[in-house]
Amino acid sequence: MTRKYTFFTLLSITFLALLLPSCKKFEGSQTVPAYIYINDVAVECDYFVYGANTHKIIDAWVYVDDNIVGCYELPAAFPVLKEGVHKVAVYPGIARDGIRDLRAEYPFMEPWEDKNVNFVEGVMDTLKPVFHYYPVGVDENMHIAWMEDFDQGGITVTMDTISSVDITLVSDQYAWHDPEGIYSTKSAKLVLDNAYKKYRFATTEKFQNLPTGGSACMLEMDYKCSDTCQVGIRYLKDYTLTNESIVRLRPTGASGQEPVEWNKIYINIGPYLVDNETADYFQIYFASWGDRNDGPQYFYYDNFKLIYRDR
């Protein structure tokens, strides 16, 4: 569904819209553009198949009639030199590994499409994309290798012996809660009460079927913390067990205080699988070494999702 705006309501934003980054310049004889406005997007999914529908989609990759118009940071208003009815497809865009300079289309969600967008010169359409994961199943190439939201009874992560603290499952005001109140009431919490304590936990499963041939593989997770922490990959290769850090997560809250704001991150696992294709198995680990010593430090995790697609 779209909403129309007259040309005169666009005068204050036209200059900004023309300056927005685009992957392709205008072509043809049309000189007065139509406009598209995307304020935000949503993700819908079956919780029992795909887990929670949290997301951090920051970009819209926009195609008109299968030709790319541009990649735009949301919210976005941008001109399109088209007239009449055309197909518009929007692909979700993320920051890989939480790095805003590593922006990319997210390969695990289907593009949103509207085949009947009527472009009128000087008129703006408001689009409201809703994204869905690609289907999973025996005959599909989308796979969910691991999910953990700490709500199903029994958890699928194990503490390493080097850890001096353990995971506590909490459902208080600091836990992640589904805004609609339908699911997910518990989160994993760890507390380091001095600089000498540390933790590292990993997936209980030792994955042997993750794609090592270059297919997309990503870890989604929600977290918040008052100190830095790490996410890495563990693999057994040539009789040697290696822990390799992938990303170092910055604190989401003040040191020594219970963090409030949750963050979402998409961590690219694929290149590490390719580099170690002869490994016997892989695990994902999460750790912190207590970098700060100004009071207890708090770490929360929820909504883990390890997904990949066959080529």
Q: What's this model's pTM, rounded to 2 decimal places?
A: 0.88
Same domain as 289, residue 193: yes
Same domain as 61, residue 174: no
Condensed to tens digits (0 to 9), the pLDDT of residues 223-254 reads 999 999 999 999 999 999 999 999 999 999 99
Condensed to tens digits (0 to 9), the pLDDT of residues 123-175 reads 999 999 999 999 998 778 999 999 999 998 789 999 999 999 999 999 999 99
- Sorted by sequence, the CB contacts under 8 Å of residue 87 that are 6+ apart come out as 64, 65, 66, 113, 114, 115, 116, 117
Same domain as 30, residue 179: no
The answer to whether 253 touches 262, Cβ cutoff 8 Å, is: no
Domain termination site, one of 92, 112, 133: 133
Does residue 4 have a pLDDT over 60?
Answer: no
- Sorted by sequence, the CB contacts under 8 Å of residue 48 that are 6+ apart come out as none
Same domain as 58, residue 191: no
Condensed to tens digits (0 to 9), the pLDDT of residues 89-118 reads 999 999 999 998 999 999 999 999 999 999
Instruction: CATH number of the domain at 26, please.
Output: 2.60.40
Domain termination site, one of 116, 133, 150: 133
Domain termination site, one of 82, 107, 133: 133
Does residue 292 have a pLDDT over 80?
Answer: no
- pLDDT more than 90, % of the chain: 79
Instruction: CATH number of the domain at 215, please.
Output: 2.60.120.260
Condensed to tens digits (0 to 9), the pLDDT of residues 171-187 reads 999 999 988 777 768 99
Condensed to tens digits (0 to 9), the pLDDT of residues 205-230 reads 999 999 999 999 999 999 999 999 99
The answer to whether 165 touches 190, Cβ cutoff 8 Å, is: yes
Count of domains in the chain? 2
Does residue 85 have a pLDDT over 90?
Answer: yes
Tell me what pLDDT residue 194 has: 79
Domain that holds residue 199: 142-309
Same domain as 264, residue 127: no
